[in-house]
Structure 1
Amino acid sequence: MSFFNALRERAVSTINQVLDKNKGEKLTKDELFCRSHNLPDNEAILGESAVELSIKSDNSLNEYSQSPQGRIFLTNHFLVFWDAFDRRNCSFVLHLSTVKKVERLPSSSYGFALSIATHSKLNVVFYLIGLRSESEKFAHALKIALKENLPNIAKLQPFIQSCYSEYILAKNKISHENIEAVPPGGLGNKFKFPGNVVELRDKSKMKLWFDLFRADGRNLSLIKTPMFHKLVRVGLPNRLRGEIWELSCGSMYLRLDNPHEYQQLLKDNKDKTSVAIEEIEKDLNRSLPEYAAYQSPEGIERLRNVLTAYSWKNPGVGYCQAMNIVVAALLIFMSEEQAFWCLNVICDRIVPGYYSKTMYGTLLDQKVFESLVQETMPMLWDHINKHDIQLSVVSLPWFLSLYLNSLPLVYAFRILDVFFQNGSKTLFQVALAILKINGEELLKLEDDGMFIQLIKDYFATLDHSAHPDSNNNRYKSITKFQELLVTAFKEFSVIEDSTIEKHRAKHRDSIYSNISTFVKRTELRNLPKTPNLSADDLSVIYDRFYSIVETYNVTMASGKNSMDFEAFYKFMTDICDFININTAEDQRKIIRDFIYRLFTHWSSSEDHQITLADLIIGLNKLVEPDLMSSMSEFYQLYNNPATDRIDREGILKISEDLLAITSPWKDGLLLDNITEKEIENAVADEVYRQQQLEKEDGEGEQKVVLPSEVNIDKKEIEGRQAERYLSAASTFIQRAFEYAQPEEQELLIKDLAIDNTISHNAALNPNTPVYINLPTFRMVILADETYELFFSKTFRHSIHVAKPPDAKFDTMRNLRDMFDGILADGRAVATKVRRRMDSAASNAVDNGSMKSGKSKVEPVEEEEADDDLNNMDIQDQDVLLGAEAEMNTKKPDNQRPGSNRPSVVEMSGDDNLIEFET
């Protein structure tokens, strides 16, 4: 028997792991065990054994006629047992704090037996099945666990005072526990419970539970027998409902382990404000308004306390839609602390993702529900599709409010009784039963509104007879709600957790993808305006940001959605050439300090974190194309806000950082525009020289082939660029101190004497404090061509904000790459060659004109022409562009009589071949 049980347990564990893998979570064996038995997450399995039980209560003469067989598990704080054949037959979760006595029984046919007595007068005998050594090992582990649990026994007595089950036993002289007062309960104790007490047979139900507590224990040491499940199904008595709910879902164990956390959360966060609290205040008066307690200050205050405490307990969720409805229902039967811990279990365990910013759990389960309708009621599903009826519009409120906003409260609480016992599958079973019962009427409807109205009418008549025309009084007495329960939990009992998880796995990817897209679109839409970043840039930055911030789950909107410095440095390294190209260790340290300066300057939070909005705003400034704004932003990195100036140390730091940042260009690993123009001119000169060497054959077609190699002195060009950047760094620090201003100091009378040793510029004196301001910094930068180009183009072009997270491409780094790029696109070279040809032809014409006595027009060099165009006013450029547009409307030169100028430059199939039509 024990061998087959071990195989069975191993198979169940494997299935659970597969199902859990589909959920996208990686839970350990212990975590899976805790989820399966509603234990706290920190429990671990210390031992297990096949076992046969004998259970007897001192308060009852009854004993099990058939001893249940199954497996017993020992964890840090619990003994867990379930029947090997059917868990409903016998199962329990026994807290070790309730164990009063453990003894080893004399040898029997089983060979090894342990007897345990609990505080509820239960005597449980464990007949361990298996090797004696394994039984000894289990007994030893139990002994150690009981010793380690001794400090927790002190929590038991205060906890018992809060349990109504202990109160009714003590009041009837069954229990010897000293219960001083009625345990704090829900709002129903003062404002009455929903429904008619007589019709609900509350006293009869209480008597049945009283007998069960006498025979099978209570709260932390309750044995769940078939009678327990029957009593839950027929409806819980109002005064016991809160305790049974928290026992069924496991929140009772959290309340025991954390006796003061709820009150401490309220105390520590008193008078604090947050977005969640603002939302809570808006919904307080909209929470079950039909119940009298929520029209009173006491009920509103209790609701506020629980929701506020949870928002501080779980700030990632805070407060979400419909959470107020659920808590309002709990508080009718529970104290604030009970409702608080029960809410934690609902949100984290039973229906994860229902109450979150993205509501991913609810949306996923709506797809699951539609799949189940299609599978179980294909005719109704075809009708829904045919008439484009949105089923989720109807069913979403059922799931989100746990039927509390849809059904009358009396019946909604009956659904919650089963929900806390069986989990989320209850929601699906009831929803399917609703459609099944109303299926024939629904097939006649072709409109969403009529569909919703029919269901509302059905909910409003749940207390009516399900068979009013029946001649059988027994059938006639069955209400619609009773019919709903039978249909849900009998006909749809095949809908198990495994069935639901199979459908969840099927739809999870598409739902998560849709949610991620929606969240991304919403977050990008709410970002500040960034004129220097396009929509595509923002999309790429968003993807890269969340690919680095791995602790944040976009779909579930959980985790920390901000960067620390290490994540920020990785982000910048991926997109900035001046970081990932630089290989010198000393330079990398300086650049890392510069990136940290950016990090602290961009961060808007007190905990030194970078949010997505901070990053977007910072990058928008970093790629600013306006030269003056770019220099100003760089200046602000070193500026002292108190004095609005940069001192001597700041000037030296700027010089050091600029030298480190520009090292890829200084070392020839990157090329700036000045060097690129030098290379283009060198290639154009070589092409033009080769063309001049060729002999012209009349007015026939002339071709120029770009050479595969051009005689360019690589070291010379790299050297010139390196020299420019070294000179720029030297010039910067020299001019910065030359134009720096001395600090204003109050002179004493004795200092008024003339000192001929003082320089004419005190800033040059190393002993004199000096500073520069923004105008001075701009002047120093603009005085150098290389640094001016660096702030206007070079630095900005080295930052690739549009580089996708998974892209691995290198920028153009050396002269060989630059030359290959020029050969790949011969248009730039062709333009320069054409200008040289035009200039030579113009000179030839001018020489002829001079011989004939005509005036000569001086040719304009290409570089000079470009500079003149760049230095023109906007109005001058508009005039030039207007004239150019007017010229374009005229006939081409080659169409005018006597014109021999080339008018078309075309690229042939060979990239190295340029044809000039003459």
Structure 2
Amino acid sequence: MAFLDSIRERAVSTLNQVLDRKPNRGLSPQEVFCREYNLPNGEVILHDTLAEVSIVSDNSKIGYKDLGPIAQGKVYITEHFLVFRDNYDRLNCSFTLHLSAVKKVERSQTSNYDFTLTITTHSKLNIVLSLVGLRNNSERFGQVLKITLKKNLANIKKLQPFIQTCYSEYLLAKNHVSNEKIEHMPNGGLGLVFKFPGNPREQRDKSKMKLWFDLFRADGRNLSLIKTPMFYKLIRVGLPNRLRGEIWELCCGSMYLRLDNQDEYHLILEANKNKKSLAVDEIEKDLNRSLPEYAAYQSVEGISRLRNVLTAYSWKNPEIGYCQAMNIVVAALLIYMSEEQAFWLLNLLVDRIVPGYYSKTMYGTLLDQKVFESLVQSCMPLLWDHITKNDIQLSVVSLPWFLSLYLSSMPLVFAFRILDVFFLQGPKTLFQVALAILKINGEALLQSEDDGSFISIIKTYFHELDQSAHPTSPNPKYKSITKFQELLVTAFKEFSNITEDTIENHRYKHRDGIFQNISTFVRRTELRNLPKTNNIDSDTLSIIYDRFYSIVQADVTVGTGSNFMDFKSFRQFMAETCDWVQPNINNDKRQDVFLNHLFAQWDSEGQRLITLADLVVGLNKLIDPDLMTSMSNFFQLYDYKNSGKLDRECILQVSEDLLNITNPWKDGILLDQITETAIENAVADEVYKAQASNKEEDKGEGEDEDDKHVTTTSTTTNNHIKLPSEVNIDKEKFAALQSQRYLQAASTFIQRAFEYAQPEEEEILIKDLAIDNTIAHNAALNPNSPVFLNLPTFRMVILADETYELFFSHTLRNSIHLDKPLDSKFDTMRNLKGMFDGLLADGIKVANKVRQRMDSAASSALNPIANSDASSSRSAKSRIQEDEEEERDDDLGVISIDEDILMSQETQGVDGGHSENGKPPPPTSKTTTSSSAGSASNLIEFDLL
């Protein structure tokens, strides 16, 4: 029979699981189990089996042998709990027994079952588990329970300090029912000092306390309480004031968090004492606006307790910190709970019970407003049609109900009755009560035509909740029913079909739309509130916004995650947008020094964290197109004292950072405009030579095509300029030339910076300016002679070098790609190969330069002296400007660059030095290369066809 009963039980259990299946919600099966039974996150099912349960207390007059089974269901063992619930009626019997409350486990024999366990708790409660099923499975269950209890021996020491804080233990010990030694009444809520809301006589508080006293004697208490139909009935009729806080935390499960994390609340307060934050500032503003009608919050003690709980939570959960209406809820909790109890209940409320209600975007509340409107539409279509017809904003009325859990909408004495049920059965209570309010006032609401009259009807109703619902009824029984009692009956009977599944299904249907609206709103708001950026347009700001939050991994929709960027994330951002910041694969910290300077200056709060606004302001300065402003911004990075001076160490640091951040140009990975112009000019010169050579060969007779240096396969531009289709380029030569130029620029900078640095003296007499030939040439490097570099001198040193001048005016800005899309796969770097590909794929510049040379040659033939002087006077910088203004063409041909020609042109810009009087020195021929033109390994061939 036992075996058949086992099969029947499993079939019933499976059917119930199918009928009670909840939406996934993105949770794992273990997480769903923890939420269903109000267990702390992380509990894992170790074993489960079917069982029949009998319960008897030592304080009960019924003997164990005379007590039959009261429930049949499944019992679970987790790491810290023994959980049971009736399969047939969930309200019939259930318990969540913390294993630290188990005193003894015995195996007993009965006539009906092969395997029976008797569990004795610290409250002298005997729980008899008669296991149903195969014997091997029952034996396994007993073995797992034994092992788990041994692992929990260390937690038993937490039991005694904990039960000292429970009023249920104090109540039984005071009446000599419990043997526990409770020396003092536990710390309770503010109501013990400032009185509880309402009239205790009218609420029949003593009668309720007596009923709970009897329940504790028969069914256990706190960590070992058995939930029977009487338990649920006593909650529905209202909790006694002194027990309300403990029953709240027992129903929702925050009691277990408080047990496992004893003293953590006080440690958080102590660790963050006197600390300031944005959340703390917001808390201070709202302290005096929290339930001002209650006397405790007009006193120092009440305000102090409220401040402590809100501040401690803001430090424990900085992602949320402090949000609107949180102060009202905590103020209500503290009337019935100690600070520690309220703190852990607040944690559970925000994270699990109503997730998203107390967040920066209040996405949970907004989503539930949409759910509520859907429920009104389906349950009360006539009222919904009236609401939509008159354009009444239902969310304006109902939002405060949900956000403040009715505490700010109706008198506290009634709001706390709703909270009694809310902490027992969860957020569906809010919907059931809201629907009942609309249904009861339906006829009056159908007469309203605008938001004002709609709200007025509801407010009047809330103020009359203590009045008779049927004042004209001749039946005294009906006449004694108050409007609040009518509200509860309507909510929990007529709308009992509003279940958790119903709410979850509606949430799932509307979630995407709500999240999209919130995301769009948050994005627009934050972008609109960013500081003005004249160098960054709105489209680029949008890309920066997306990249910022994708890196810091903040969920702006639900208002969670960090809104600050640390240095590691900042480095990643810069590596994705700047050509000169490479992924730190080899743990190279050299370029991190400069990034740290940027990060430190952009950190407006000095907390090693930057906001999106900080980042945008900093980037706007970094890409400033004005040369003087760009140099000033760079100078300020090292002016730590804001004195307008750079001392010796700062000068050395500037030089080192300039050397490090220009590595991509020194290594030939990137090209600047000087190198690009040199390449273009060299290509044009070679094409011009090829064109001239072809003309001469065309005039010759009998010349064989195979002897030509340049292939005759060519294209013709619009101006009849024939361009070859191939080019052979010496890669190493260009890299060496550019590298030498940047190394020379760094050397020249440090030399001139100290040459023109000023002595650190308040006043320099004119006679002291005379040159003393006895001073060594490098006297400025003497640490005994402090010097400084001011901004004008720094600018002079930079402008004296063509490479660094170009770096601050164009090169640095062009290497930062803030508009690069997040999902972009292309490489933004312009290396040598990319440069040649771009140049040869677009023949305009080559054709125009060739045309210029042809025109120049024709002009030189007419006036060779004048044109020779004009040609030699052109500087590299003027040629860059002319090249930018040239028109473009599309035809190319075969190009072969001669190294000697390129070298003769490149030497004009290699040194980049200037004479001591500030004027550039004449071009020199001291140029070296690391490879020869004839090295085949250094040639790159591009086939344009």
8 A contact 1:759–1:765 mirrored in 2: no
Distance 1:332 1:770, change over 3 A: closer
Distance 1:229 1:765, change over 3 A: closer
Correspondent of 2:579 among 577, 594, 603: 577
Deviation of residue 231 (structure 1)?
1.4
Q: What letter matches 2:388 in structure 1?
A: N
Deviation of residue 798 (structure 1)?
0.5
Q: Which residue of 2 aligns with 1:402?
A: 405
Query: SS of the counterpart of 2:201?
Result: helix
Distance (whole Å) between structure 2 residues aligned to residue 721 and residue 436 of structure 1: 81
Q: Which residue of 1 aligns with 2:354?
A: 351
Deviation of residue 51 (structure 1)?
1.4
Query: SS of the counterpart of 1:246?
Result: helix
Query: SS of the counterpart of 2:129?
Result: strand
Q: Report which stretch shifted further, 1-10 or 628-637.
A: 1-10
Distance 1:141 1:465, change over 3 A: same
Q: Which residue of 1 aligns with 2:925?
A: none
1:167 has 2:184 as partner = no
Distance (whole Å) between structure 1 residues aligned to residue 317 and residue 407 of structure 2: 24
8 A contact 2:362–2:559 mirrored in 1: no
Q: Which residue of 2 aligns with 1:807?
A: 824
Deviation of residue 775 (structure 1)?
4.6
Deviations 1:765-799 (A, max 9, x none): 89998775555543333222122111211111001
Deviations 1:31-52 (A, max 9, x none): 3322222222243333322211
8 A contact 1:830–1:905 mirrored in 2: no
- Which gives a bigger RCO, structure 1 or 2 (Cα 8 Å, sep 6+)? 2
Correspondent of 1:559 among 536, 558, 561: 561
1:539 has 2:542 as partner = yes
Distance (whole Å) between structure 2 residues aligned to residue 105 and residue 299 of structure 1: 53
Correspondent of 1:549 among 549, 552, 570: 552
8 A contact 1:397–1:403 mirrored in 2: yes
8 A contact 1:362–1:400 mirrored in 2: yes
Deviation of residue 523 (structure 1)?
3.2
Q: Report which stretch shifted further, 430-439 or 837-846.
A: 837-846
Q: Report which stretch shifted further, 84-93 or 74-83.
A: 74-83
8 A contact 2:534–2:620 mirrored in 1: yes
Distance (whole Å) between structure 2 residues aligned to residue 274 and residue 244 of structure 1: 34
Q: Which residue of 2 aligns with 1:875?
A: none
Deviation of residue 862 (structure 1)?
12
Deviation of residue 736 (structure 1)?
4.5
Structure-to-structure mapping, 1:896-911, within 5 angstroms: none
Distance (whole Å) between structure 2 residues aligned to residue 512 and residue 685 of structure 1: 61
Distance 1:669 1:278, change over 3 A: closer
TM-score of the aligned structures, taking structure 1 as reference length: 0.82
Distance (whole Å) between structure 1 residues aligned to residue 560 and residue 682 of structure 2: 58
Q: Which residue of 1 aligns with 2:795?
A: 778
Q: Which runs of 5+ in 2 are unaligned?
A: 697-716, 762-771, 894-945
Query: SS of the counterpart of 2:117?
Result: strand
Distance (whole Å) between structure 1 residues aligned to residue 143 and residue 215 of structure 2: 32
Distance (whole Å) between structure 2 residues aligned to residue 352 and residue 229 of structure 1: 25
Structure-to-structure mapping, 1:656-805, within 5 angstroms: 657-681=657-681, 703-704=719-720, 707=723, 709=725, 713=729, 715=731, 720-736=737-753, 739=756, 759-763=776-780, 774-805=791-822
Structure-to-structure mapping, 1:472-483, within 5 angstroms: 472-483=475-486
1:59 has 2:59 as partner = yes
1:316 has 2:313 as partner = no
Deviation of residue 92 (structure 1)?
0.7
8 A contact 1:842–1:859 mirrored in 2: no
Structure-to-structure mapping, 1:377-456, within 5 angstroms: 377-456=380-459
1:91 has 2:94 as partner = yes
8 A contact 1:742–1:762 mirrored in 2: no
Q: Which residue of 1 aligns with 2:336?
A: 333
Distance 1:790 1:321, change over 3 A: same
CA RMSD, Structure 1 to Structure 2 (Å): 4.2
Distance (whole Å) between structure 2 residues aligned to residue 400 and residue 151 of structure 1: 40
Distance (whole Å) between structure 1 residues aligned to residue 37 and residue 465 of structure 2: 34
Deviation of residue 126 (structure 1)?
1.0
Deviation of residue 212 (structure 1)?
1.7
Distance 1:911 1:862, change over 3 A: farther
8 A contact 2:96–2:223 mirrored in 1: yes
Q: Which residue of 2 aligns with 1:215?
A: 218
Distance (whole Å) between structure 2 residues aligned to residue 707 and residue 831 of structure 1: 11
Distance (whole Å) between structure 1 residues aligned to residue 730 and residue 441 of structure 2: 85
Query: SS of the counterpart of 2:33?
Result: helix
8 A contact 1:13–1:29 mirrored in 2: no
Distance (whole Å) between structure 2 residues aligned to residue 104 and residue 809 of structure 1: 71
Deviations 1:221-272 (A, max 9, x none): 1110111111111222222222211211112222223332333333443433
Deviation of residue 830 (structure 1)?
7.4
Deviation of residue 860 (structure 1)?
6.6
8 A contact 1:105–1:112 mirrored in 2: yes
Distance 1:795 1:101, change over 3 A: same
Structure-to-structure mapping, 1:846-861, within 5 angstroms: none
Distance (whole Å) between structure 2 residues aligned to residue 567 and residue 707 of structure 1: 49
Deviation of residue 339 (structure 1)?
2.1
Distance (whole Å) between structure 1 residues aligned to residue 323 and residue 736 of structure 2: 63
Correspondent of 1:124 among 124, 127, 133: 127
Q: What letter matches 2:577 in structure 1?
A: I
Q: Which residue of 1 aligns with 2:199?
A: 196
8 A contact 2:16–2:87 mirrored in 1: no
Distance (whole Å) between structure 2 residues aligned to residue 646 and residue 140 of structure 1: 75
Distance (whole Å) between structure 2 residues aligned to residue 33 and residue 734 of structure 1: 72
8 A contact 1:582–1:663 mirrored in 2: no
Distance (whole Å) between structure 1 residues aligned to residue 181 and residue 666 of structure 2: 85
Distance (whole Å) between structure 1 residues aligned to residue 873 and residue 472 of structure 2: 102
8 A contact 1:687–1:704 mirrored in 2: no
8 A contact 1:369–1:428 mirrored in 2: yes
Q: Which residue of 2 aligns with 1:19?
A: 23
Distance (whole Å) between structure 1 residues aligned to residue 872 and residue 379 of structure 2: 80
Structure-to-structure mapping, 1:636-651, within 5 angstroms: 636-637=636-637, 641=641
8 A contact 1:682–1:712 mirrored in 2: no
Deviation of residue 394 (structure 1)?
0.7
Distance (whole Å) between structure 2 residues aligned to residue 103 and residue 225 of structure 1: 24
Distance (whole Å) between structure 1 residues aligned to residue 784 and residue 21 of structure 2: 72
Deviations 1:863-916 (A, max 9, x none): 9599779999xxxxxxxxxxxxxxxxxxxxxxxxxxxxxxx9998xx8889xxx
8 A contact 1:470–1:476 mirrored in 2: yes
Distance (whole Å) between structure 1 residues aligned to residue 778 and residue 208 of structure 2: 99
Query: SS of the counterpart of 2:580?
Result: helix
8 A contact 2:844–2:891 mirrored in 1: no
TM-score of the aligned structures, taking structure 2 as reference length: 0.80
Q: Percent of aligned pairs with the same residue?
A: 66
Distance (whole Å) between structure 1 residues aligned to residue 261 and residue 552 of structure 2: 32
8 A contact 2:725–2:892 mirrored in 1: no
Q: Which residue of 1 aligns with 2:282?
A: 279
Distance (whole Å) between structure 2 residues aligned to residue 663 and residue 264 of structure 1: 49
Q: Which residue of 2 aligns with 1:47?
A: 47
Query: SS of the counterpart of 2:581?
Result: helix
Deviation of residue 859 (structure 1)?
10
Query: SS of the counterpart of 1:115?
Result: strand
Query: SS of the counterpart of 2:131?
Result: strand
Distance 1:64 1:358, change over 3 A: farther
Distance (whole Å) between structure 1 residues aligned to residue 408 and residue 86 of structure 2: 37
Query: SS of the counterpart of 1:578?
Result: coil
Q: What letter matches 2:556 in structure 1?
A: V
Structure-to-structure mapping, 1:21-40, within 5 angstroms: 21-22=25-26, 27-40=27-40
8 A contact 2:437–2:487 mirrored in 1: yes
Q: Which residue of 2 aligns with 1:68?
A: 71
Q: Report which stretch shifted further, 114-123 or 391-400.
A: 114-123
Q: Report which stretch shifted further, 62-71 or 246-255.
A: 62-71
8 A contact 1:706–1:823 mirrored in 2: no
Q: Report which stretch shifted further, 438-447 or 481-490.
A: 438-447
Deviation of residue 592 (structure 1)?
4.4
| Aligned residue-pair number | 853
Q: What letter matches 2:331 in structure 1?
A: A
Query: SS of the counterpart of 2:615?
Result: helix
